[in-house]
A and B are shown apart, each in its own frame.
Chain A
Amino acid sequence: MFSIMIPRRVGLVLPAALALVVVTLPTATAVAPPYEPVTIDDPVVVGEAGDLNLYGLEVGPRTIAWGGGLHAGPVPSPSPSPSPSTAPGEDLGAAVAQSGAQMRSRLYTPDLGKAALSLGDMTTAPVVAAIDAATTDEWAVGFDPLGPSYVLRVRHQGGPEMAAELATDDFGPGSGSVAIWGDMALVGPNLVDLDTLESVDLGTLDECIAGENAVLADGLLLVQGLCEGGQTFATEVPEDGLDLESLDSLDWDVVLDFQPDLMAYSRGLLVFADSKMGLYGYLRLDDPDAEPWAATIPAGIDALRVQGHRYVVVAARDGDVVAGVFEEGGEAPVAVVPLDGGLGMAPVLFDEGAAATAAVVIPRDESSEMNLDGIAIDLYGRTLAWSDGEDVFAATLPPLAGGAVTSTAPATGKAGAPVAVTAAGLQPGEEVAVWLESDPVLLTLGRAAADGTFAASVTLPAGTAAGTHSLTVHGVESGWTSVRSIALAAAATGNPGLRVDTGR
């Protein structure tokens, strides 16, 4: 059994008299090992990673993107100008050949309750030419640590690609992870204002703040502290960003009194892991009364991901790399994914004979997650994408545990007529799909309120056969559903009623 230090969580709610709120982690329980049989049955093959030596894999609400480089064969001829977008699965190798990197992306349709995860066409993807990249509805940000120069590449949705120098590029090849929140990006230790493309190295703010291993997500910036034996600090980041010139006057909150070497954050849930201690756990920062949780794991922990209530722990065990998907509050994994040991874990050699650029040798770096980007989770915990080193897969995870959605709808209706549907018990703010069955027809997509309620007026399609049908309210993020029966009267003597919007 590990003997673990006891982290304190301080100042989550400002005590009027600055009385410290001390939260003690329970003694970590050994989970030995948590990885039991695979529970993902039918992953979708998104595309081939081939010999890409996968470097980045991201999944967003509608997009799965992956990138890599370091071809074993000849490098494609450089393109005169980078392509601003790509067709489904199109190889961008030519566009980014100067850095030896490729990026591919596919759109997907998430499970809306009645259809499995499926792939669609990529339309106007704001792809940037980089190995490490992140995208939002507004921005695409990429960083190519292997290029001839360390250049940040930024594309505003629909706009041209812009390039900028970073405040510091002294963070080593392969560690240029990218994250975006609002109009700010975090690239390695650089906090970047995307409107101005100016950046600040977090490590220069204060001698007690480390630039490395910072996290930017969901309105929170987390940094590691170097003083007092090591701490972890957090500050809020508004969507319109922080003033880079005032960073040294930010209010920081101490959220951990130790420095985990891996952290991830999503919607109030901070997940941490430390390979030295063989420890992983989580704290809920938006609920001071919530109990923190931690567990030990025999294997070293190599990567950590979190979205919504789900988090992913990646660990090497017996020579294999395994990922377990866990749910906040539950100790058994929701799903287990064996990741091929060839996922870039071995040294990657650039083919010197084919190199148009300088040959690079990247040593295996077990302290870095650079080679373990082959797993990603998003749509707040429902979609998981990973690679076994040959292909890129994606799957829809089971519903969150403990759903109790209730809904109301009229017991009777008419084809072509509107009916009011309400629901409660959904995840706050989650996407909601309302279906009419038996032939599933998506009636509307909406969003739950902050209290988990939902209300919509949906029109039963004209031409729907008379008889008993089902109205299903489905939370896309939670996977929770509620079903009501509705009887449609025969409409033999009338035309389907219509709503007439003729006001201008």
Chain B
Amino acid sequence: MRARLVAFVVAGVVAVGAAVGAVLLLTAPDDDVVAPPAPAPSVTRSAPPSPTPSPTPSFLPAFVAMAVPERVEIPAVDLDLAVLPISPVGGRINPPTVEEAYWIQDYGLPGSDADNTVYLVGHSSLRMPAAFNPLLDVEHQDAVLQPGDEVRVTTAGGVLRYEVTGWTRYDKDGLPTADEVWAIAPGTLQIITCFQEDGREFADDNLVVTATLVEALVPAEGATAG
């Protein structure tokens, strides 16, 4: 008989089980997938718009009724994106695709008669092209847009022209309670993405660019008194 009297430490087994549980708990969420860092996206601003007015203006100021946004353009950074609707799940927003902008459909609609803040969100990334990469100057840890930059939101009814008033960096955990971001402020556009830091695998912060509605436009042939 080879039965030898040796240590039997059941606690070791329990520890193994606990370790497995810990590994499971440490599984990274979807938007924090670890990948090798890539060069920070380059930052380019387009040349200032020509002061020479267009000889044949295609849009005229008008009343644009609230409607679903379809595109967003930011000429200063050559950004021109389709806009898709999204709703929060469990108090979170996580856009399902990387290269489109998303409009939080539970809140405000853009329009001359807007009754709530309009929110556009989109991904940014150090590793791949993403919708709102052009908004970030990762190298200098800065936002690219400056006060006065134009943001154009197109709906079926026309174009809502906003001007940037500023930007703020928020800790992700603090953003949900940032009253100034979530305040009901008709005529305000909030553009939200992740604030990427060069060399970091996870984005801990959000970038929020705030803009104010300055003009509503309709195609010239459809213009009405505004």
Hey, which bits of chain A sit against chain B, CB under 8 A?
Answer: 10-14, 18, 20, 206-209, 218-220, 225, 227, 231, 233-236, 238-239, 248-255, 267-268, 285-286, 414, 416-418, 428-429, 446-447, 449-450, 457, 459-462, 493-504
Contact = CB atoms under 8 A, between A and B. Distances in A.
A165 to B, nearest CB: 27
B98 interface: yes
B160 interface: no
A499 B173 CA distance: 7
B8 A267 contact: no
B144 to A, nearest CB: 16
Given A429-B17, A446-B25, A502-B193, A497 B94 contact: no
Nearest to A219: B13
Contacts of A418: 91, 173, 176
Given A234-B8, A414-B177, A498-B93, 10 more contacts: A208-B3, A220-B13, A227-B1, A251-B6, A254-B3, A416-B182, A494-B184, A498-B91, A502-B193, A503-B123
A285 B93 CA distance: 49
A162 B149 CA distance: 67
Contacts of B90: 459, 461
B18 interface: yes
Interface string B1-44: 11111111111111111101110110001111100000000000
Nearest to B17: A429
B2 A206 contact: yes
B175 interface: yes
Interface in B69-122: 88, 90-95, 98, 104, 106-107, 116-117, 119, 121-122
Most buried by A among B13, B14, B33: B13
Nearest to A464: B91
Nearest to B102: A502
Nearest to B24: A447
B128 interface: yes
B130 interface: yes
15 contacts: A18-B5, A206-B3, A208-B1, A220-B13, A416-B91, A418-B176, A449-B22, A495-B117, A497-B175, A500-B194, A502-B94, A503-B196, A504-B31, A504-B125, A504-B130
B1 A502 contact: no
Given A417-B176, A457-B173, A501 B29 contact: yes
Interface residues on B, range: 35 or more
A62 B10 CA distance: 26
Contact of A493 (B91, B127, B184): B184
Contacts of B122: 502
Interface in B167-184: 172-173, 175-179, 181-184
Nearest to A447: B21
B159 interface: no
B206 interface: yes
Contacts of B104: 498
A208 B1 CA distance: 6
A498 B8 contact: no
B182 A253 contact: no
A504 B123 CA distance: 7
Contact of A14 (B6, B98, B176, B177): B6
Nearest to B13: A219
Contacts of A235: 8
A494 B179 contact: yes
A504 B124 CA distance: 6
Contacts of A493: 183-184
Contacts of A446: 25
B92 A417 contact: no
A14 B31 CA distance: 48
A255 B7 CA distance: 11
A502 B12 contact: no
B132 interface: yes
B1 A498 contact: no
Given A252-B4, A459-B90, A497-B175, A504 B9 contact: no
Contacts of A10: 5
A253 B6 contact: yes
A286 B10 contact: yes
A504 B98 contact: yes
B203 interface: yes
Nearest to A225: B3
A502 B10 contact: no
Contacts of B59: none
B192 interface: yes
B31 A497 contact: no
Report the 6 A-B pairs with minimum CB-CB distance, sorted nearest first: A497-B176, A14-B7, A503-B203, A219-B13, A459-B91, A503-B194
A208 B4 CA distance: 13
Given A498-B104, A502-B132, A447 B124 contact: no
Nearest to B192: A500
Contacts of A414: 176-177
Nearest to B196: A503
Contacts of A18: 5
A447 B206 CA distance: 29
A7 to B, nearest CB: 15
Nearest to B32: A503
Given A225-B3, A248-B2, A502 B18 contact: no
